[in-house]
Structure 1
Amino acid sequence: MTEQSNNSTRGYIELSGPDSRKFLQGQVTCDMTTLSQEQSIYGAQCTPKGRIIFLFKASCDEQNNIILQTHSSIVEIAIASLKKYAVFFKTKIVQIDGQPETPELTDLQRLRNGSADVTADTTDMFIPQMLNLDAQGYISFKKGCYTGQEIVARAHYRGAVKRRMHHLQLTASVLPTLGAEILSPEGKAIGNIVSAAKVDDQTIEVLAVLADKSRDSTEIIIAGQSYQVSHLPLPYDIPSGP
């Protein structure tokens, strides 16, 4: 467990140039053709093996530049990943200082919305469905190909998702390390911590990916410490199959 609050500011990436939207359309899970100055969208960039590199909220400014809001710890990794695929496109990718028009959600608010963060500690750990991105509309199954699309589509149409994200409450005074392994009382690995936030000095809430067979567990072990857990609702239904 760590004493850090994990309350970090958001990071911002700007893509400018005539090919920016076309480039992202072939890289991310959401349909970039639906993005406008009036309509933000959410998505993820994945590895060729379908693992999430970073999550983002995409918006479009008055100059038609695309702004990706993500977790601050992942910005450099995200930019490096995007640039690796951008060499044949007329797009410029840079980090910028964000000036959100509305107050940012706190980590606890975001967590209670069922919205995970992927950080530098958890990049390349989860496929999109593990974090319930399909339930939240972060994935378009009608758009064309993008990096990792084959794996994501296979998991969707074959119902091959054996681990899903759940909302838990623990009695604890410090937050778990993001990405920390979760064990059953018998010592079997059953999942990982995705996001965590304090409610008060003795209570925390987490989003945790759990194996289907362990999703109703009332006792878990994190970093050698046993915890009784309560299961809290998510604001969306978790898909049960294709």
Structure 2
Amino acid sequence: MALSFSLPNYTSILVKGVDSEKLLQGQISCDLAQNKRYFDGLFCDEKGYIITNAVVIKDDFFTIIVKKSVSKFLKAELEKFAKFFNCEVSEENQIIYGECKNKVFKKHLGKKDFQETNIEWDLQTMKNFCFDIEEQHSNKFRINELGYNFEDYVSYDKGCYRGQEIIARLTYLGKKVKKAVVFNNAIESISDSSGKKIGKKILEIQSKKFNLTQFFVEENEYYHEGKKIIPVSSQWEQDQDL
């Protein structure tokens, strides 16, 4: 059974015009030339830092779904390049909802009977390493630090796009020494059994129900303030289950 989530904190950016696909192909990590309507992709800068992740819906024009707080950054980036193409970029506030089935998270346009809130969406996407980027995370992290699955967001068959060289380098680094790990509670730092601080704090979500914190860290036993803590979600454990 699919769960539906109200997402009032999301918006859409529209790209219209004959050169719309050309513009976006040079900016996004997925291949919009594929014969399908729904895409997940990443908009990055030249250094591979993610401006935002996004859903792109392809019809007669392109609709890009992102969080409202980050839309101004993406719109400004697209407008900077759109002047070299025959297309227009605009923002349109539409009703957007999320859906989760078998741990696959998708965002859609339109009305739906909602069972869960946007806060619950954030909590669940964070635990499944597909968290949608907010303003405070924009241009700060690369794809591996956020724990995104490369295959879900990146095409290796398309032409050049911003950040491609860095993403390719991260793909072929070989054995990963750090991965994404999520813990309960608000945590500023974690350590190993000797008390040495390890890892890099990436995200934190606070809600009335509970808080979550995500780190990018090596495989280890984890401690906080001298007490051992167990992750609620870990890419180290996920990879062992494959």
TM-score band w.r.t. shorter chain: 0.7 to 0.9
Matches within 5 A, 1:48-197: 48-61=46-59, 64-99=60-95, 100-101=109-110, 102=112, 103=114, 106-135=121-150, 137-159=152-174, 162-170=177-185, 182-184=189-191, 186=195, 188=197, 190-197=199-206
Matches of 1:20 and 1:65, distance apart in 2: 7
Matches of 1:130 and 1:182, distance apart in 2: 16
Consecutive unaligned residues of structure 1, counting only runs of 5 or more, are 1-6
Q: Give percent identity, aligned residues only.
A: 24
More helix by share: 2
Matches of 2:43 and 2:227, distance apart in 1: 33
TM-score normalised by structure 1 residue count: 0.74
Which amino acid in 1 is paired with 2:222? Answer: T
Secondary structure at the residue paired with 1:75? helix
Change over 3 Å in CA distance of 1:81–1:161 after alignment to 2: farther
**1:44 paired to 2:53:** no
Change over 3 Å in CA distance of 1:18–1:192 after alignment to 2: same
Q: Which residue of 2 aligns with 1:230?
A: 230
Query: For the Cα contact (< 8 Å) 1:48–1:147, is it kept in 2?
Result: yes
Offset at residue 160 of structure 1 (A) = 7.3
Matches of 2:216 and 2:43, distance apart in 1: 22
Offset at residue 126 of structure 1 (A) = 1.2
Change over 3 Å in CA distance of 1:220–1:47 after alignment to 2: farther
- Count of paired positions: 212
Query: For the Cα contact (< 8 Å) 1:31–1:143, is it kept in 2?
Result: yes
Change over 3 Å in CA distance of 1:60–1:189 after alignment to 2: same
Offset at residue 151 of structure 1 (A) = 0.8
Query: For the Cα contact (< 8 Å) 1:135–1:237, is it kept in 2?
Result: no
Query: For the Cα contact (< 8 Å) 1:17–1:92, is it kept in 2?
Result: yes
Query: For the Cα contact (< 8 Å) 2:39–2:55, is it kept in 1?
Result: yes
Offset at residue 230 of structure 1 (A) = 2.6
Which amino acid in 1 is paired with 2:202? Answer: I
Consecutive unaligned residues of structure 2, counting only runs of 5 or more, are 1-6, 96-108
Query: For the Cα contact (< 8 Å) 1:23–1:86, is it kept in 2?
Result: yes
TM-score normalised by structure 2 residue count: 0.74
Secondary structure at the residue paired with 1:24? helix
Deviates more, 1:7-16 or 1:148-157: 7-16
- CA-based RMSD of the aligned residues comes to 3.0
Change over 3 Å in CA distance of 1:199–1:238 after alignment to 2: farther
Q: Which residue of 1 aligns with 2:106?
A: none
Q: Which residue of 2 aligns with 1:28?
A: 28
Secondary structure at the residue paired with 1:110? helix
Offset at residue 91 of structure 1 (A) = 1.7
Matches of 1:204 and 1:192, distance apart in 2: 14
Secondary structure at the residue paired with 1:165? strand
Offset at residue 50 of structure 1 (A) = 0.7
Offset at residue 98 of structure 1 (A) = 1.6
Which amino acid in 2 is paired with 1:230? Answer: I
